[in-house]
Structure 1
Amino acid sequence: MKTVIEQIEQQFRLFHAAGCSVEQVMVAEEQLGLRFADEYRNYVLDYGAISFGSHEFTGLNVDSYINVTDVTRQERELRDKLPADCYVVQQLGIEGLVIMQHQSGAVYQLDESGNCSRIADSFSGYLANLL
C-alpha cells in the first residue's frame, strides 16, 4: 500500500485524515458484521481515509459521507444486491456505481441493476489502476 501511496503523491496532491486506532477498526467491523481485508485495515490505521484528484475513498476518522461504516450501511439499505461480506470503498456518483471490497481483499464494481464485476485483486491494485 505504501508504494501506491507514494506513486499517488508523485502525481497528485494527496489528502488524508488521521489514522485510527485498532479499537475503532474493531468497532466498525462489528457494526458491519465482517472483517476488513488486511490491506484495508492497515490503510485506515495509517491514513484514516484518502482523497486525490477527483477521487474520495471511505475510511475512518472522517465525516459520515465517506465513513466506511455509514456509507456501507446506507448502500445496504438502498441495494439488496450489496453482499453482506463486502464494504464500500468508493461511491463514484456516476450512474449509481459503487466500488466495494470483499473481506478477502478482491475489489468489485456494483451498478444500479445489481450487476457485479471484479475489477482488482486488492485495494492497492484498484488505486494503482486509477493512476
Structure 2
Amino acid sequence: MKKQNIIEVIKKYKDSFDPKRIPQKYITETEASIGLKFSAEFKEYLKTFGIAAVNGHELTGISKSKRLNVVDVTISERGYNPSIPMDWYVVEQANIDGIVIWQNKKGEIFQTIPRADPIKLCDSLAEYIEM
C-alpha cells in the first residue's frame, strides 16, 4: 500500500483547525525541550498546521494550550507510563480509559492503556487518522 501524505490526509477533512504554520526553529527547540526527534511526518504536520483536529482526532502539536501541546502532554504521560521509550511522544490523548496514542521517530503509531503493554496500531500518523 502506498504511504499516505499527512498533509493531503488532513486537508481532505473539513474539521481541521485553521493552519498555524510553525517555523523549523520552533520545531527543533520543541524536540530539544523533550529530548527526542520527531518523525519526518510529524515535523511536516507541525510545519503546515501547528495543531489540528481531524476526523475525530484531536492531535497534539505546538500550542499555547497545555492540553494540546506535545511537550506538556508527553511529559505528563511519561509520568503515567514510565515504561514507554524515551523517544516516543504523544500525538493524541483519547481521554477515555487512559488511552494514549504515541509516535516514534520512525513514524510508527502505538496505543497504551494502563497496566498493559503498548500495541502497535499502524505505520504512520496519516494511516492512524484514516482508521
What TM-score, normalized to structure 1?
0.89
Using the aligned pairs only, state the percent identity: 29
The C-alpha deviation readout for 1:5-52, integer Å capped at 9, x for no partner, is 23323xxx2214512111111111111111100000010011001013
Unaligned runs of 5+ in 1: none
Two-structure CA RMSD over aligned residues (Å): 1.4
Structure 1 residues 69 and 16, CA gap change in structure 2 (3 angstroms): farther
The CA distance in 2 between the partners of 1:117 and 1:16, in whole Å, is 31
Alpha-carbon separation, structure 1, partners of 2:116 and 2:106: 20
Uncovered stretches (5+) of structure 2, i.e. residues with no partner: 1-5
Instruction: Give yes or no for contact 1:68–1:88 (8 Å, CA) kept in 2.
Output: yes
Count of aligned residue pairs for this structure pair: 126
Match of 1:71 in 2: 73
Question: Which AA in structure 1 matches 2:29?
Answer: V
Aligned residue in 2 for 1:30: 32
Query: 1:91 matched to which residue of 2?
Result: 93
2:3 maps to which residue? none
2:12 to 7, 17, 28: 7
Native 8 Å contact 1:19 1:45 kept in 2: yes
Q: Which secondary structure state, in structure 2, belongs to the residue aligned with residue 125 of structure 1?
A: helix
Aligned to 2:104: 102
Aligned amino acid, residue 112 of structure 1:
P
Q: Contact 2:90–2:101 at 8 Å: present in 1 too?
A: yes
Q: State the alpha-carbon separation in 2 of the partners of residues 76 and 5 from structure 1.
A: 27
Code of the aligned partner of 2:69: N
**Aligned partners of 2:64, 2:12: CA distance in 1, in Å?**
23
Runs of 4 or more off by more than 4 Å in structure 1? none
